[in-house]
Chains A and B, each alone.
Chain A
Amino acid sequence: MAATQHTSVQTRVKRAAYYLLLWLIALIFFLPVLWILLSSLKSTDQMLSSVPTVFFEPTFHNIVDTLNRPEFLPALINSVILSVVSVVLAVIVSFTAAYAISRFKPKGSDFLMFLLLSMRMVPAAAVIIPLFLMFVELHWKGSYVGLTLFYTMYSIPFSLWILKGFLDGVSQRFDETALICGANYLQIMFGIILPQVRPALIAAFIFNVIFVWNEFLVNYIVGGSSTQNVPGLLATGMYSGGSVDWTFMAATTSLYMMPVIVMIFFFQKYLLVGMTFGTVRGEV
């Protein structure tokens, strides 16, 4: 009896130590985010004081200022339009492609899947000059169409991988049952199979939205003033009067992070699906 009590105390202490360590690591990673969030609520003087101010009177002055800037709202709208439209397109294309590959297994589809994913391994900086020249020739420079298509293309491989993995796990008996009932392939795909892979669709959507939401390089180089997103605005609007406008930077960043953080909070269970390429299945 005494021995078991002793063990349980020891286990509890051990566990507490683990948790403490984990919390510490998490806090270290969270610190920059916290710094940005707090800074957005500080005055310029408080923010720039050499001894960091821990206790201060929060002010929404910076946030209101940022929201009142004429270029902020259009940039935010651009961010929303570009990320949502391109990722929705990408998910639709990926779902139909993944269905075809999973069910009909056309020759060479394995190689195709590999090829598509390897595209994601090319650093954007390596393709930015050819992309720029191509977009100029196509008159896509600075257009929504050009940027949306680029982001769609960039979001497809990852979505395809997640969805293919998930669709392989959906029994073909679903398709066959529906076929027997007289459904056509469009009805089967969107009416029967799509509800089965909803977690994968959400995972593909979230992961790619996060990517497009924070994309800077392509937007900056091949986009134009009318298609500028918030990261682009941050880069160009940070300097005022020969120095960095720290309050603007902090406030814009805080505002910009919020929608994604809220989205992740509500859909966090789907992130695992995405991170494992759909290999962890089950009821999500």
Chain B
Amino acid sequence: MSKIELESITKSYGPVVAANAISTVFEESSLTCLLGPSGCGKTTLLRIIAGLETPDAGRVLFDGEDVTNLSVGRRDIGMVFQYPVVYRGLTVYENLELPLRQRGGGNMSASQRKEWIDRLLSILNLTARANQVVDGLDNESRQKVAVGRAVVRRPKVVIFDEPVTNVAVDAKIEIQRGIKQLSREIGQTILYVTHDQTEAMTLADKIILLQSGNIVESAKPVDVYNNPDSAFGGYFLGSPGMNFIAAELERADRGQAPGMRVKCSVLPEPLWLPADDASGDLPRPGAALIGIRPEEIQIVEDGTPGAVRGRVKAAALVGGGRWFLDCVTAEGDEFKMLSAAGADPGGDTEKSFLFRESVVRLYSEEGNRIARALVREDADVPA
């Protein structure tokens, strides 16, 4: 129920930079997933927001109020860790009731309190175990209790630090569903750290992708997936991640319209990048990368127009009759693709591949996005 702003948060542990002047905003009542490989600084960022770590520099603001130096207990947050923290010797119900007794429960009557806890228990599917002492519970149920206890006070912000990493699949879905439902009902601002991209895609209103203490992507899940700002983002999201194939940029104006020609071994005809579609000026001519998702590549009949020849090096069944293929073009550029359901394409076979031109994205050699889409050189230039 609070808007959280980070202003140039910096934190290092010796030579390791966990947060490099990070500035971002977590909108009120939104669910933001922080995603990234191990050691990218996502947990550090959450712990700074919670007040469990102090930043070396920068400010944390809750609803415009500076809380950087406010103690953990006064920030009004809830937190769930990977490790399920439950208070032993108490029942499930008592575990949820405890934070309300401690503080913040003053403005709730006894009957309201009971009603609210019962509601939480039912959302988390714990009603049958309400009176069971937590000591005897399995890991999954303990984590549900921890989730319930974190939100029971209706804090301004709830922070989840990989809450379902150690949980079996069934319970994982149940907990995720519970969190989603709770976030809708209470309207809390939720920050959710995970290294599981599917989880982030399912839950998030916004995804923030971190790499070595820097934010590299920050957008809606669908945008991060379809049009990542960086090659790292494209590679990290998706299973397998986006393919990046070497391309060549050269200046090629079309009449009065300045533009660049993009040549690549997977494109039988070069594509064209008009100047006004690029971010800023025209990019430097020379080496670049094109990005294309594995599911945007198809195996087609030999002789299909626009197809390029290549070889399937290895195939692995991924379920649902689909195959994960490791391929290489005739010119030696490697790429990965997901085949449509069908028979085993077999390893080490020659095939024709069709790359969907309409979704080819252009990145600089350093991995920064230049363009979301390219056009055919003979296509009409948009006015």
**Chain A residues with a Cβ under 8 A of chain B:** 171, 173-174, 176-177, 179-184, 192, 195-196
Given A176-B52, A176-B79: A181 touches B102 (CB 8 Å cut-off) = yes
**Which residues of chain B in 69-85 are interfacial with respect to chain A, using CB atoms and an 8 Å cutoff?**
72-75, 77-79, 81-83, 85
Asked if B50 is at the interface (CB within 8 A of a chain A CB), the reply is yes
Report the bound CA distance from A181 to B87 in whole Å.
12
Give the chain B neighbours of A192 by CB distance below 8 A: 87
Contact B85 A177 (CB under 8 A): yes
Please judge, given known A-B contacts A171-B83, A173-B81, A173-B83, whether A180 and B72 are in contact too, CB under 8 Å: yes
- Nearest Cβ distance between residue B129 and chain A, in whole angstroms? 18
- Give the dominant DSSP class at A's interface: helix
The answer to whether B220 has its CB under 8 Å from any CB of chain A is no
B85 touches A171 (CB 8 A): yes
If A171-B85, A173-B83, A195-B88 touch, whether A180 touches B74 (CB-CB below 8 Å) is no
Structural contact, B83 and A182, CB atoms closer than 8 A: no
A174 & B85 in contact (Cβ 8 Å cutoff): yes
CB-CB contacts below 8 Å: B129-180 with A: 146, 149, 153
A-B contact pairs, 15 of them (CB 8 A): A171-B83, A173-B82, A173-B83, A173-B85, A176-B72, A176-B81, A177-B79, A177-B149, A179-B72, A180-B73, A181-B102, A182-B74, A182-B102, A183-B102, A192-B87
Chain A residues whose C-beta falls within 8 Å of the C-beta of B52 in the assembled complex:
176, 179
B81-100 contacts to A (CB < 8 Å): 81-83, 85, 87-89, 98-99
A120 CA to B74 CA, complexed, in Å = 44
Measured between beta carbons, the chain B residues less than 8 angstroms from A179 are: 52, 72-73
Task: Give chain B residues whose Cβ lies under 8 Å from the Cβ of A184.
Answer: 73
Is B79 a contact partner of A180 (Cβ separation < 8 A)?
A: yes
Q: Choose one: A171, A173, A180; the contact of B77 (CB below 8 Å).
A: A180
Q: Is the CB of A196 within 8 A of B74?
A: no
Please measure, in the bound complex, the distance between the C-alpha atom of A31 and the C-alpha atom of B122, giving whole angstroms. Answer: 61
Establish whether residues A177 and B88, one from each chain, have CB atoms under 8 Å apart when the complex forms.
Answer: no
Q: How far is the CA of A176 from the CA of B103 in the complex (A)?
A: 17
Q: How far, in Å, is B102 (CB) from chain A's closest CB?
A: 6
Distance A184 CA – B71 CA, assembled complex (angstroms): 11
A195 to chain B, nearest CB (A): 5
> In the complex, A179 Cα to B83 Cα: how many Å?
16
Additional 15 contacts, C-beta under 8 A, given A171-B85, A176-B52, A177-B81: A173-B81, A173-B85, A177-B85, A177-B149, A180-B75, A180-B77, A180-B78, A181-B99, A181-B102, A181-B153, A182-B102, A182-B103, A192-B87, A195-B87, A196-B88
